[in-house]
Amino acid sequence: MNASVENRNEAQMIASILAGNTHEFHRLIQPYERSVYSMALSMLQNEADAEDAAQEAFLKAFRNLDKFRGEAKFSTWLISITLNEARSRLRHKKTAKTESLDELTEGGHVSPALLRDWREIPSEALERQEVRLLLQDAITDLPTIYREVFVLRDMEDLSVNQSAEALGITVAATKVRLHRARLMLQKRLAPELKRVMPKRRWFPWF
């Protein structure tokens, strides 16, 4: 989270909301709207479901704010509510990727894609819809247990400890899952990105 968020006194805002200034909740959640939506979308793979789950997560956070004890950061608490909301919807949807199947893959090893001539992909690439879709698909296709930890740590920028806390798993398990998630993405995305990116003239060996 950026500095302006870090500098806000969220404890004070929460106390004020609980004291009756409920409208301050709008300001409290503003920096986290994108995070909550991204989390929901990466889990549910559908914009309408993701928006609904995100709204529900914010409503639950509002209703249960008096149960927030402040041991965790508000953002971590909010993300874990979102995660639970998305998980419960996934269970209802009974999608092809079930938790038990995901668990089966946990013992497996992942070998990265061997691409000798990889060069940096400029971030302007994200202005291309094609590239955004490749990334979205690769993330949403990860088995749930890997997707959750990847989104928390590498997209939402939670620490490994915060991710472990939000997921209710150990720090060691978090690191293992994160490692596999990253290699799975490398394996899939490195060849795909190489294919869609224009050849760059200043590397004569292309």
Partner 1 sequence: MVLECKHVWEHISGYLDGNLDAAVLEEVQKHLEHCEICSAILDSTRNILILTADERVFELPLGFSERLHARLETEMRGFTYGPSGSEEGDT
State in Å, rounded, how far the first CA of the chain is from the last one.
39
Q: What string of H, E and C letters represents the secondary structure of 34-102?
A: HHHHHHHHHHHCCHHHHHHHHHHHHHHHHHCHHHCCCCCCHHHHHHHHHHHHHHHHHHHHCCCCCHHHH
Query: Which residue's CB is nearer to partner 1, number 88 or number 95?
Result: 88
Binding mask 45-84 for partner 1 (x = CB under 8 A): --x---x--xx--xxx-xxxxx------------------
Query: Which residue's CB is nearer to partner 1, number 116 or number 201?
Result: 116
Q: How far is the CB of 136 from partner 1 (least distance, A)?
A: 6
- Distance between CA atoms of residues 77 and 58, nearest Å: 11
Binding mask 139-158 for partner 1 (x = CB under 8 A): x----------x---xx-x-
99 is an interface residue for partner 1 by CB under 8 A: no
- Distance between CA atoms of residues 194 and 25, nearest Å: 44
The stretch near partner 1 (CB under 8 A) out of 3-11, 97-105, 161-169, 185-193 is: 185-193
- Distance between CA atoms of residues 75 and 29, nearest Å: 9
Q: How far is the CB of 48 from partner 1 (least distance, A)?
A: 9
How is residue 175 written in tokens? 């690191």
How is residue 91 written in tokens? 């269970």
26 is an interface residue for partner 1 by CB under 8 A: yes
178 is an interface residue for partner 1 by CB under 8 A: yes
- Distance between CA atoms of residues 36 and 51, nearest Å: 9
Q: How far is the CB of 41 from partner 1 (least distance, A)?
A: 5
33 is an interface residue for partner 1 by CB under 8 A: yes
Q: How far is the CB of 32 from partner 1 (least distance, A)?
A: 11
The CA angle 178-180-185, to the nearest 5 degrees, is 95
Q: Considering only CA atoms, which of 151, 183, 16, 185 is closest in space to residue 79?
A: 151
Residues at the site binding partner 1, with contacts judged by CB under 8 A: 18, 20, 22-23, 25-26, 33-34, 37-38, 41-42, 47, 51, 54-55, 58-60, 62-66, 111-121, 123, 125-127, 131-132, 135-136, 139, 150, 154-155, 157, 160, 175, 178-179, 182-183, 185-186, 189-190, 193
